[in-house]
Structures are given as structure tokens and as C-alpha cells.
Amino acid sequence: MFKLQPNPTFWATIEIPLPGDGGETAPLEIEFRHMTGAAWQARVVAWGNEGTQPIDALREVVVGWRGADIEFSDEALVQLNDNYAGAMVAIAHVYPGLLMGARRKNS
């Protein structure tokens, strides 16, 4: 049966760009917080107006992960953001499509 109220979180595998010039990536299964389309649009505008730091934007949408060598925590999320600058870009690129149910590969 179709539910008008989606689950509050959902999982997706994101290809995180690895440092270096080889263009290599590593998969990370991320648990995302669901937002309505209107809420997502409002957050994007607010982030721009507030000068939100990338880590704060990540905190709003990423709530867990599987497949990393460190258990998910706020400190681990900060470490991901610090050590893999492309992680935020990859997540920001894919997340809106995930909200719409789009299946696409991030690269």
C-alpha cells in the first residue's frame, strides 16, 4: 500500500571521491533524513542566507552510515567532512534527486 507519509529516514549508497588525481571513489551507505520538497527548498535558501558551514548542512541531512571503519557520530561526520572535501559535494549533488526518488549514479 502506498503511504502518503514517507519513512523519516532512508538509505542510499554515495560514492565518496578519494583524494588524489585518479578520480577514484569509495562507496559509503548513508542514512538520510527525509525532507519534504518545500522544507528542502527552504533549507537551501536559509543555508545561503545564513552562511551555513558545510558541516552544519551535513548534520541536517545525514543521520547515520554503514560501511565505514568508524561508527557514525557527530565527531565522525566532522572527520568525514575534514578528510574528504568531496564528500559534501557528492552528498549535496545526490540528495535532492534521492528526495524525488531518482536513481542516478553520482560521479
Residue 4, domain member (yes or no):
no
Owning domain of residue 16: 9-99
What total of structural domains would you count in the chain? 1
Residue 23, domain member (yes or no):
yes
Confidence band, pLDDT 50/70/90 cuts, at residue 102: low
Strands 9-17 and 62-66: unpaired
Residue 21, domain member (yes or no):
yes
- pLDDT score at 2: 82
Among the listed residues 30, 8, 22, the one whose alpha carbon sits nearest the alpha carbon of residue 81: 30
Q: What is the mean pLDDT of the chain?
A: 86
Three-class secondary structure of residue 53 per DSSP: coil
Give pLDDT tens digits for 58-69: 888 999 999 999
Residue 1, domain member (yes or no):
no
Residue 73, domain member (yes or no):
yes
Residue 106, domain member (yes or no):
no
Give pLDDT tens digits for 10-39: 999 999 999 988 889 999 999 999 988 788
- pLDDT score at 101: 80
